[in-house]
Amino acid sequence: MRKIILIMMVFYGFLVASATLADATCGEELPVSTFVFSKGGTTNLFVLSGVIFVQEGGGALVEAPTLYLFSGMLDSKGIYQPFDVVLVRCRIGFFSYSNLALQFGAPVVEHFWGSANPDGTMPLVRVPEDPWVSYDKDEWGQPILSTLSIGVFMCPNGIIKPLKSLNLEGNLNKLPPGVYPELAEYCY
């Protein structure tokens, strides 16, 4: 019974937040940031602020009413299509994602990236300094901006944390998506 009440409370909070965002008049601009909230370790709510896109070829930054989200796990299986379409209001968008580590019984690395279009053009802008943003590095150790994604480390005990927080050596800041039983020590 407690579980049902908790689910109803979370759902109600989600509806209130959605209605508030839909009715809001946009005020000051928010910084480009990523926030993650865990709902009991099974599902995680990702909140993206400062949602803005860059035109192909490094053109001007533009806003768009929708954000198409892509998954590294799906991409690694040859499925390059959005797994979710997020409504963007006042440059804020949010989506939920299940903790895949619970399904696999081992730690999972996942990457998300977004676009203003379902074909992946006009990519979502994130900043390398964001704790949730992962990236490949060039030979001088600098972020390769075209590889920016939201890097997530999920644990079978319900813990979720930024992939970057593992402080792995070398270019492992951007581990390929997949199941990593050898990283279980980072789940505690």
Residues 104 and 184 sit within 8 Å (Cβ to Cβ): no
Query: Are residues 80 and 18 in contact, defined by beta-carbon separation less than 8 angstroms?
Result: no
Model pLDDT, residue 172: 55
Amino acid, res. 162:
P
What pTM was estimated for this model as a whole? 0.80
pLDDT of residue 25: 65
Mean pLDDT for back-to-back runs of 10 residues, the chain (188 residues): 38 42 61 81 89 82 93 93 95 93 95 93 90 88 85 93 83 80 93
Per DSSP, the residues of 70-114 read: EEHHHHHTT--S-SEEEE-BTTEEEEEEE-HHHHHTS-EEEEEEE
93 falls within a domain = yes
Does residue 17 sit within a domain?
Answer: no
pLDDT at res. 7: 37
Of 139, 160, 140, the closest CA to residue 150 belongs to 160
Residue 7 lies in a domain: no
What is the predicted pLDDT for the residue at 27?
A: 66
What is residue 144's predicted lDDT score, i.e. its pLDDT? Answer: 83
> Which structural domain, as residue segments, surrounds residue 86?
26-187
**Res 116: pLDDT:** 94
**In this structure, is residue 16 part of a structural domain?**
no
What pLDDT, on a 0 to 100 scale, did the predictor assign at position 57?
73
pLDDT of amino acid 170: 59
**How confident is the model at residue 114, as a pLDDT?**
94
What pLDDT was estimated at residue 28? 67
Tell me whether residue 2 is in a domain.
no
In a domain, 156, yes or no: yes
Question: What confidence score (pLDDT) does residue 171 get?
Answer: 54
Distance CA 85, CA 25 (A): 22
CA distances from 174 to 34, 67, 90, 137, 163 (A): 17, 22, 30, 9, 8
| Residue 21 domain-assigned (yes or no) | no
How many structural domains compose the chain?
Answer: 1
For residue 31, being part of any structural domain is answered with yes
**H/E element, 186:** none
